[in-house]
Amino acid sequence: MKPTIGFIGLGVMGLPMATRLQNAGYALRVYNRTKEKTQSLVNKGAEWCESPAVVAEISDIVISMLSTSEVLKEIATGPSGVLSKLGKGKVHIDMSTVAPAVTGELDKAYASAGRYFLHSPVLGSIPQATDGSLLLFVGGNDTAYKQTEDILKVLGKQVWRFERVDQASHTKLLCNLFIAGMITTLAQALVFARKTGVNPRILLEIIGQSALNSPMYQSKGASIIDGNFTPRFFLEHMLKDINLMLDAAREAGAPLPAIEAAQELFAQASQKGLGKEDYSAVVKVIDR
Ligand SMILES: NC(=O)c1ccc[n+]([C@@H]2O[C@H](COP(=O)([O-])OP(=O)(O)OC[C@H]3O[C@@H](n4cnc5c(N)ncnc54)[C@H](OP(=O)(O)O)[C@@H]3O)[C@@H](O)[C@H]2O)c1
């Protein structure tokens, strides 16, 4: 019989991921701060729970997909958090992009209580969450991983395993370092092109035929040119991730000067109230 899954955090990513698990035949127990976002799952048989603790109490495996490290800490180890009711030997997999130091702390707290914590951040956005083609970086205990492997394979097309949770957390930040660099390069180039009378669509076409191409340049380039900033990945989350990578790099003694420049742009965009737009809206502070 398939294990019952508790899913906490039904936002932009959590909802399509949980829907995919439900469609694959897993029974779900769900909690989200904003209850209405669980409605489509509840309509198809998921059980609403009043707190993360209740989710943990009546699920075999708990998954969370949350905004920040602070929120994850509260959901995991707060007074009505997962750890307070998770059964002995059971697993909580968090899939959010959060601080490596925090996943390390949670791993220790769960282990000393005889429970398991895995960190499995994801690369990919709404389309990949919907069709199960996320890339997953899973850090933590092997016994726990084996309990969750079948579930993770419904969500992702490939899994990379890491011995420690913080290695998985760092890997996600390293991938997002590329995103931060690429989006700021793309946004600058498109503004520069327009201001010099070069058609930005022709520029994208040339890049598309070259070794410089990336699917990300094509999709975000087209939406920037069209002025479409419907969020797939909130600008406020990109700024959060830039701050996380700068903190982690400082800790490790790795210089990230270009990311410091990107931080300045994203901070300005956030101050302009663009946090709930797609992260490509950073172009609006370049295109003054
Ligand atoms: N979107 C992407 O393309 C993408 C891709 C890879 C990774 N990620 C990462 O995945 C995570 C989730 O991203 P998302 O795009 O799904 O973001 P989101 O839509 O903002 O979802 C955040 C979730 O956290 C919950 N939350 C926020 N503050 C809370 C609080 N104080 N207490 C309890 N719950 C709280 C939200 O609840 P409410 O519904 O009540 O607000 C929501 O369920 C983030 O760490 C993000 O960086 C996102």
Q: What is the pLDDT of residue 288?
A: 82
Rounded CA-CA distance 165/191 in Å is 40
Domains identified in the chain and CATH numbers: 5-163 (3.40.50.720), 173-286 (1.10.1040.10)
**pLDDT tens column, 59-86:** 999 999 999 999 999 999 999 999 999 9
pLDDT at position 138 is 98
Q: Which atom of ligand 1 is nearest to the CA of 125?
A: 3
* 7, 13, 94, best to mutate for ligand 1 pocket (most atoms within 8 Å of CB): 13
In the chain, what percentage of residues exceed pLDDT 90? 99
Contact residues of ligand 1, CB 6 A cut-off: 9-14, 32-34, 37, 65-67, 71, 96-97, 122, 125, 232-234, 237, 241
Closest protein CA for atom 33 of ligand 1: 33
Ligand 1 pocket mutation pick from 237, 241, 276 by most atoms within 8 angstroms of CB: 237
**pLDDT tens across 250-270, in order?**
999 999 999 999 999 999 999
Provide the 10 A C-beta neighbour count for residue 160.
15
Tokens of 216: 């990300």
Q: Is 46 helix (H, G, I), strand (E, B) or coil?
A: coil
**Closest to 53 (Cα-Cα) out of 22, 12, 18, 87:** 87
Distant-in-sequence, close-in-space partners of 97: CB < 8 Å, separation ≥ 6: 121, 172, 173, 176, 237, 240, 241, 244
